[in-house]
């Protein structure tokens, strides 16, 4: 069953002073029932850059998190990329970087963000992971409700800004999507974004870290 066309945005970066890299992705509609589907030329790169700068630069991310660029992939009804992706790589002096410095966690610690659609079943939920969160935990080892809501609203603002950078002629804006990865490729528009209060882990990261060991002298029992 073919899925309607869409854009896939991938945001990429590094953890400064480590060999670690990170990425997170979002999907947005590009199909237009009242006109031609949007293409690469309908993405305002400047508006996306502004959204990226506002999102990653600040105290919600620790000062090791740096966004180095983003890519947009134009996906057709066959699920394959059409044409060459739109690639934006920031110069070293203009890479949005977190400013949180009071709390640092290992690179595999992330905050899971859930995107929720209206209907039960396939594509009801999606997720992406925020790298390098910089908010301290409470005594119960969870985020406060206030901090979790702040992250959720920050992600919602970011998603809306990227959406508004996509020009769908005759329509108000593009919509963020959940698309199931099964054979049906069900898609639903995202209705809410929520952030949990427990930090998660992205296990594939730490395999790149260089481990060093310090050993005690021989123990004289």
Of 1, 190, 220, 203, the residue nearest 110 (C-alpha): 203
Report, as an integer, the average pLDDT of 8-28. 95
- Predicted confidence (pLDDT) at residue 12 exceeds the cutoff of 60: yes
The alpha helices in 18-144, defined as continuous H runs, are 45-56
**Cα 116 to Cα 94: distance, rounded to the nearest angstrom:** 33
Q: What pLDDT is attached to residue 208? A: 66
Angle at 81 between CA 52 and CA 90, to 5 degrees: 25
- Predicted confidence (pLDDT) at residue 214 exceeds the cutoff of 80: no
- Predicted confidence (pLDDT) at residue 50 exceeds the cutoff of 70: yes
Q: What pLDDT is attached to residue 204? A: 62
**Cα 6 to Cα 2: distance, rounded to the nearest angstrom:** 12
Higher pLDDT, 218 or 136: 136
Contact (CB, 8 A) for 159 and 190: yes
- Predicted confidence (pLDDT) at residue 103 exceeds the cutoff of 60: yes
> What is the average pLDDT value for the chain, to the nearest integer?
90
What is the maximum span of the chain, computed from C-alpha positions, in angstroms? 81
Q: Kindly report whether the global pTM for this prediction surpasses the value 0.95.
A: no
Query: What are the pLDDT digits (tens) for 53-69?
Result: 999 999 999 999 999 99
Contact (CB, 8 A) for 76 and 82: yes
**Cα 39 to Cα 41: distance, rounded to the nearest angstrom:** 5
Contact (CB, 8 A) for 25 and 169: no
């Amino acid at each position: 069953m073919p899925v309607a066309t869409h854009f896939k945005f991938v945001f990429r970066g590094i953890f400064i002073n480590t060999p670690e890299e990170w990425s997170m992705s979002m999907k947005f509609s590009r199909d237009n029932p009242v006109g031609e589907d949007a293409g690469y030329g309908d993405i305002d790169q400047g508006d996306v850059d502004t959204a990226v700068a506002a999102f990653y630069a600040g105290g919600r991310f620790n000062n090791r998190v740096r966004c180095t660029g983003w890519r947009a992939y134009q996906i057709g009804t066959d699920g394959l990329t059409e044409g060459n992706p739109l690639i934006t790589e920031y110069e070293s002096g203009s890479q949005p970087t977190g400013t949180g410095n009071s709390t640092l966690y290992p690179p595999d610690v992330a905050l899971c963000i859930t995107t929720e659609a209206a209907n039960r079943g396939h594509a009801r939920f999606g997720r992406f992971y925020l790298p390098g969160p910089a908010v301290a935990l409470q005594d119960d080892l969870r985020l406060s409700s206030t901090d979790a809501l702040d992250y959720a609203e920050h992600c919602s603002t970011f998603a809306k800004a990227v959406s508004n950078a996509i020009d769908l002629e005759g329509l108000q804006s593009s919509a963020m999507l959940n698309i199931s990865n099964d054979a049906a490729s069900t898609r639903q528009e995202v209705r809410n974004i929520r952030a949990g209060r427990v930090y998660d882990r992205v296990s594939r990261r730490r395999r790149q870290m260089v481990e060093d060991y310090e050993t005690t002298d021989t123990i004289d029992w």
